[in-house]
Structure 1
Amino acid sequence: MKKSIFRLTLCTLAICSLLLTGTLVTKADAAPKYRWKLAQTWGTGFPIFGDAVIKMADMVKEMSNGEMEIRIDSSNKHKAAFGVLDMVKAGQYEMGHSASYYWKGKDVNTMFFTTMPFGMIAPEQYAWFYYGGGMELMKEVYDKHGVYSYPGGNTSNQMGGWFQKEINSLEDLKGLKMRIPGFAGEVLSKLGVVVTNIAPGELYTALDRGTIDALEWVGPSLDLNMGFHKITPYYYTGWHEPATELQFMVNKKKFDALPKHLQKIVEIAMQYAAYDMYARSYNDSAENWDKIAKEYPNVKIKTFPKDVIAAMKAENEKLLKETAAKDPVFKKIYDAQTAYMKKARRWTEISDYAYLKDNLE
């Protein structure tokens, strides 16, 4: 009995000492009950995109009081930048972070949930996702892959790309080797461009060695960090990705097995990290656009000629209608996006566009 009291006294003193020194192990410091892994398309230390993933994982750990922890594996580790969907689907990773249009070879309907040429801008697209039926349509597409998909961060309107030569006509596109993903790649392919998709970590080398003649990546927020301005002189404004939304993926079985409170925490963390990335991207693009003007005056900012844009639009519409005629799910999503954009654009025109037009002229 005395030994038990002695041990209890020692334990009490130890706890008091820990409390006084501030080193008591709290629940948040304890070993997590749920350990998940996330595979991302981006390399180690990749800014903005990778930062959004880190923010999400940190929030999950903090909000769960240490009950859940998510380890992040970059493409440097898993060696499969474009294999993230397959790895999450198979349960090799519980989560992934990538871009939905990378899976168009597996399922053409996934492209709608990143962005589409001449489509919605970011505020319109977010409204569509959360209040216009977009999330439900995305769930319908990804259910057959055994994955839940969520918005994973928006870059806002992207630039049209970096080119070694000036584009003055449709003839200049023929035979041009360009890295460009998604439906935009299909459009340019119809106009004679030799289209390829290259992992982010290999883009600079491919452009520098002449493997490709042009590429689009994101915009000033990330393009300056990639160094493309050191190789190519022409920087074109965008048409193809007006609201590029990245993607968090979660294995359905793993997610459904989580306690309800952790499911909600993961969802909230993903949504916050996604919108925070949108704000960060916009800020960094504004900062770097100013930097281009001041520090890199040799970069020539160009807009595609009107006849080139017109040809892109015409080919885009043709491809959309052809694909919709063959795939009822594609048609369903295409019709839904078209109808929502038509409605939202009326407000965009009388609000943001009218304001900017009146104040920029």
Structure 2
Amino acid sequence: MTTRRKFLTTGALGGAAALAAPSVARAQAPIKWRMQTYAGAALGEHVVKPAVDAFNEIAQGQMEIELYYSDQLVPTAELFQAMQSGTIDCVQSDDDSMASPTEVTVFGGYFPLALRYSLDVPALFNKYGLKQIWDEEYAAVGVKHISAGSWDPCNFSTKKPINSLEDLKGLRIFTFPTAGRFLAQFGVVPVTLPWEDVEVALQTGELDGLAWSGITEVYTVGWANVTDYFLTNNISGAWIGHFFANMDRWNAVPPHLQKLLETCFEQSHYYRQHWYWAGEADLRINGGKLKLTTIPDAEWQTVQDAAVKFWDEIAAESETKAKVVEIIKKYNETMVQAGPPYRY
């Protein structure tokens, strides 16, 4: 039987032990992460904030993510370096924009004409082996690749109408590095600016337009107020973006919170699937600010043919790039053979 003396002794010792061990209290303090997204605040409300808010709520004080928007802590082009060094714990971006020093960087963002629909991205990563390649590439440079997902397609939104490839010549266009490299052959002049400066640059005439997003984003962030035309042809059916973390920071997180991070980020990928899919169709019809233009299919085929040549150029640069291009080709061949609704 437990006597009163033993109970009091045990209680006293327990209390003394607790007072003598402040490290226990420190261990229970919430894990704090700083995360920066490529997106500005208006866009971030949709593409990342819901996932961060959900994680912080479900984590119940065990861990908290502080969210920062485009360029708030570091310029977007320096995101990878900041995450690798531990200045930032977690990043949402494509590989291309954050200047990732990996063999797969060129495929992030918009890899020309490789994707037709948003579902192509999770299919390629989860069923065709791209996730394993990305995981290995980033682990080699001290970064955890958490997951990949799709965003919107890449269309032109411009101040002048585009009805033919000839109309592209000389246009100063804000776009992604790889997309700009591809589009230069059609006379486009790629321009790099901080994301937050784009609207003013369109107003002052420094930019003629952008090939950065679909129509949902053009309206959401205000670019529909400073452009006049939207080209329905796209150079990619979906943007490939990711969630990344500093590897040491990731490994320090308990397994159950790692799983919660993965789950919330997957939910974010799903949210964007339907948000963009619905928005792309609705705003073409009901947006009211941009006039739609289209380059005829026969002429646009020139761009599609050039994209396949571009893939081969990229594949020749390294074994890893060749492996990714081979997967993309195999996937697209399968979709074409399957026919509608996969490819028309």
TM-score, structure 1 length as denominator?
Answer: 0.79
For residues 116 and 202 of structure 1, the distance between their equivalents in structure 2, rounded to whole angstroms, comes to 24
For residues 46 and 156 of structure 2, the distance between their equivalents in structure 1, rounded to whole angstroms, comes to 23
Deviates more, 1:271-280 or 1:100-109: 100-109
- Of the candidates 125, 137, 146, which is equivalent to residue 141 of structure 1? 137
1:62-102 per-residue CA deviation (whole Å, 9 max, x = no partner) reads 33332111111223531413221111111111101122221
User: Which amino acid in the other structure matches residue 133 of structure 1?
Assistant: G
For residues 260 and 353 of structure 1, the distance between their equivalents in structure 2, rounded to whole angstroms, comes to 40
User: Which amino acid in the other structure matches residue 350 of structure 1?
Assistant: P
- Of the candidates 258, 272, 277, which is equivalent to residue 277 of structure 1? 272
User: Which amino acid in the other structure matches residue 335 of structure 1?
Assistant: E
User: Which amino acid in the other structure matches residue 142 of structure 2?
Assistant: G
Paired position in structure 2 for 1:333: 324
Partner SS state of residue 46, structure 1? helix
- Is 1:75 the counterpart of 2:70 in the alignment? yes
Q: Displacement of 1:250 after TM fit?
A: 0.8
- Of the candidates 224, 232, 239, which is equivalent to residue 234 of structure 2? 239
- Is 1:304 the counterpart of 2:299 in the alignment? no
- Is 1:56 the counterpart of 2:47 in the alignment? no
Unmatched tracts of structure 1, length 5 or more: 9-29, 355-361
Unmatched tracts of structure 2, length 5 or more: 12-26
For residues 176 and 331 of structure 1, the distance between their equivalents in structure 2, rounded to whole angstroms, comes to 32
Contact 2:145 2:245 in 1 (8 A): yes
- Of the candidates 81, 87, 102, which is equivalent to residue 92 of structure 1? 87
Contact 1:163 1:233 in 2 (8 A): yes
Residues 103 and 324 of structure 1: CA distance in aligned 2, closer, same or farther (over 3 Å): farther
Q: Displacement of 1:169 after TM fit?
A: 4.2
Q: CA RMSD in A?
A: 2.8
For residues 237 and 243 of structure 2, the distance between their equivalents in structure 1, rounded to whole angstroms, comes to 20
- Is 1:178 the counterpart of 2:189 in the alignment? no
Q: Which structure: greater helix fraction? A: 1
Q: Displacement of 1:326 after TM fit?
A: 2.4
Q: How does 1:182-201 map to 2 (within 5 A)?
A: 182-201=177-196
Q: Displacement of 1:51 after TM fit?
A: 3.4
1:200-235 per-residue CA deviation (whole Å, 9 max, x = no partner) reads 211111111111112123223221233333333321
How many residues align? The count is 320
Residues 105 and 175 of structure 1: CA distance in aligned 2, closer, same or farther (over 3 Å): farther
Aligned structure 1 segments of 4 or more residues deviating by more than 6 angstroms: none
1:121-153 per-residue CA deviation (whole Å, 9 max, x = no partner) reads 211221121122121011122223321224455
TM-score, structure 2 length as denominator?
Answer: 0.83
Q: Tell me the percent identity.
A: 23
- Of the candidates 315, 327, 334, which is equivalent to residue 343 of structure 1? 334
Q: How does 1:108-257 map to 2 (within 5 A)?
A: 109-120=104-115, 121-151=117-147, 153-158=149-154, 160-257=155-252
1:236-275 per-residue CA deviation (whole Å, 9 max, x = no partner) reads 0132121113221111121122221121111111111121
For residues 76 and 157 of structure 1, the distance between their equivalents in structure 2, rounded to whole angstroms, comes to 23
Contact 1:187 1:312 in 2 (8 A): no
